[in-house]
Each structure stands twice: as C-alpha cells, then as structure tokens.
C-alpha cells in the first residue's frame, strides 16, 4: 500500500497541468496571462512546430492520452499519478463533469513547506537550456541575481547558457513549450526547490496567485 500511495515528482507536474487547464477553460488566454504577469515574450527557447498544441474540446484535454501528449509523462505514469493524487486528497473529481481538479490549497502547502526537502534541486554544470527559477520570465525584474549563473532545464531548443537544474520530470521541457502558465508555475516551483530564502518567499507569493481559486 505504501508504494502505491507514495508521491512521485511527476505528480507535482501533473497537478500543476490540471491547474493550468482549469484556468485556461475559464479565461481568454491573453487576458489570463496578463492578469498573472506572464510577459508576452515568455519563451526561453527557439520555437518548433510541435510546440503549438492544437485546440481541443475541454473534456478531451483531461484524457490520459491528452495528458501524456501535453506533459511528456507516459500514459501509465499519468494514470498512476491521478490515482495517487485522488487517494491522498491532492486532487478530486469535479461534481457533475467528473474531471480531475487539483486541491490547490493542499498543493500550495506541500510546495511551500515540503517540496524542497522531498525533491531538492541543485545547480549543476553549464548547459544550454530553458530558463527556470529566477532566470525565467515569470520572475523577470522581481529578483536581482548579479554575478549568478542562470538556472536552466537542459534542452536542445533552449536559448540560454546556464547551470543545469534537474526538472521534476524529464518531460518538463516538452510540457512548458506548449503552456505558458505551466512554464511559469514550474519555474516558480524551482525557485522554491533551490532553497534560496528570498527567492522562495517571492516565488511562494506568486505561486499563491497562480493557485488561487478563480472567482
């Protein structure tokens, strides 16, 4: 039983993807991005044709197959993640539609108080990749990082040279190229994972805004 319920790092990616899907359903994308402070130039990579996800019917976005395609997490891993998150209360089935919804309050508590101890991040070798943590557009102008190398997820499409940070799942570079909101949230999560006090505090406030239930 313990192994079936133990949280895995890809669960965080999937929960944040569910948040992004729900937010996109309820707002026009340009307005949604502006309200959350996502810059128009939010990409830290050279775009490729596969980065443009085709529009889908709302319910179809939540299928195991669609979630595999949009996150880079395999169908079996998606199924396992959904089961674990539902079992422990980090997700719930929406009344009526049955769609999986993230328990955002519980997730925020875990991200702020447990994540960096369970899935810590450390800066590694210099590589080319996608900016994350303080280097990502979502934190642009909010933190001073003079003299520091940028942090990146290693990726062939990346446009920045920086210190490698292991993403929560190998599919993260693929997933964020298709979803500005997911990119912002995962970059903020990395700012928390890297454990710098000031960055964590700023990232936490922004994460709370992203995870706030829509009114």
All structural domains of the chain with their residue ranges:
2-211
Q: Identify the pLDDT of residue 90.
A: 96
pLDDT confidence of residue 52: 54
Q: What is the pLDDT of residue 3?
A: 44
Report percent pLDDT > 90 for the chain. 61
pLDDT in tens, 130-158: 999 989 999 887 765 545 678 999 999 88
Q: What are phi and psi of 183, to 5 degrees?
A: -55, -50
Give the span between the Cα atoms of 11 and 82, in whole angstroms.
8
Q: Yes or no: say if 90 and 107 are a contact pair by the CB < 8 Å rule.
A: yes
CA distances from 52 to 49, 69, 131, 198 (A): 6, 12, 19, 35
How is residue 201 written in tokens? 């505090």
pLDDT tens per residue across span 50-72: 555 545 546 688 999 999 999 99
**Cα 200 from Cα 178, distance rounded (Å):** 25
Annotate 139-170 with three-state secondary structure: HCCCCCCCCCCCEEEECCCECEEEEECCCCCC
| Segment 174-198 mean pLDDT | 91
151-154 and 160-164 strand pairing: parallel
Averaged pLDDT of the chain: 84
Tell which residue, 201, 157, 163, has the closest CA to residue 183.
157
Task: Report pLDDT digits (tens) over 26-40.
Answer: 654 444 455 555 555
């Amino acid at each position: 039983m313990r192994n079936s319920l133990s949280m895995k790092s890809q669960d965080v990616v999937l929960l944040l993807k569910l948040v992004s899907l729900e937010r996109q359903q309820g707002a026009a994308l340009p307005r949604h991005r502006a309200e959350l402070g996502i810059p128009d130039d939010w990409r830290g990579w050279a775009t490729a044709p596969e980065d443009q996800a085709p529009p889908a019917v709302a319910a179809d976005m939540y299928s195991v197959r669609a979630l595999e395609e949009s996150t880079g997490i395999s169908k079996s891993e998606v199924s396992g993640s959904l089961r674990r998150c539902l079992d422990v209360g980090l997700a719930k089935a929406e009344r009526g539609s049955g769609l999986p919804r993230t328990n955002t309050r519980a997730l925020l508590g875990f991200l702020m108080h447990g994540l960096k101890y369970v899935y810590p991040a450390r800066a590694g070798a210099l590589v080319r990749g996608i900016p994350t943590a303080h280097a990502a557009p979502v934190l642009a102008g909010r933190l001073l990082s003079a003299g520091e190398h940028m942090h990146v997820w290693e990726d062939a499409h990346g446009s920045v040279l920086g210190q490698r940070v292991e993403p929560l799942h190998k599919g993260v570079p693929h997933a964020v190229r298709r979803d500005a909101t997911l990119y912002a949230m995962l970059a903020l999560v990395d700012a928390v994972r890297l454990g710098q006090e000031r960055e964590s505090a700023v990232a936490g406030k922004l994460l709370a805004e992203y995870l706030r239930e829509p009114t």
